Amino acid sequence: MKELEVTYISSMLEHKRQPLLSKAAFLRRQLRFLAATSVFVSVSLAVGVAGYMHFAGFTFIDAFLNASMILGGMGPMGELPNDAAKWFASFYALFSGIALLGSVAVILTPLVHRMMHALHLDDEDRS
C-alpha cells in the first residue's frame, strides 16, 4: 500500500532529477490543484448550509452566510436557537479550521514544489 501512495504522489510532481516544468505545464498543474480544492470547499460549504438549515432552522441565505463565514475562518454571524444547532456549529467550526488549512496547503503545493525544485534543495546536501 505504501508503494502505491508513493507512486501516486510522484506521478503528480516531478522528481528532483527531472527538468523543471514549462510555465504552461505548471499553470495546468496549479489549476488542477485549485479545481480539486474548489470542489472540496464547495462540498464543505454545502454541508454547512444544510446543517444550519436543518439544526438551526435558518433560511438558505442565513445558513449560507454562517457556513461561509465559519469555513472562511471568520466566525458565526447569527444566534443559534438550540443545543443541536450549537453542537453542529461547534463540530463544523473544528472541521472548517482544518479544512481551511488543508485547502491552503493544497493550493500552495505546486508553487512551493516548483520553488524547491528550482533551487535544487536536497536534504543530503544540507548535512
Q: What are the domain boundaries of the chain?
A: 23-122
What is the per-residue pLDDT across 53-104, written as a single tens digit (0 to 9) for each? 999 999 999 999 999 999 998 888 878 999 999 999 999 999 999 999 999 9
Architecture of domain 23-122: Orthogonal Bundle (1.10)
The three-state secondary structure class of 127 is coil
Mean pLDDT computed over every residue of the chain: 86
pTM above 0.85, yes or no: no
Least confident of 15-24, 32-41, 43-52, 68-77: 15-24
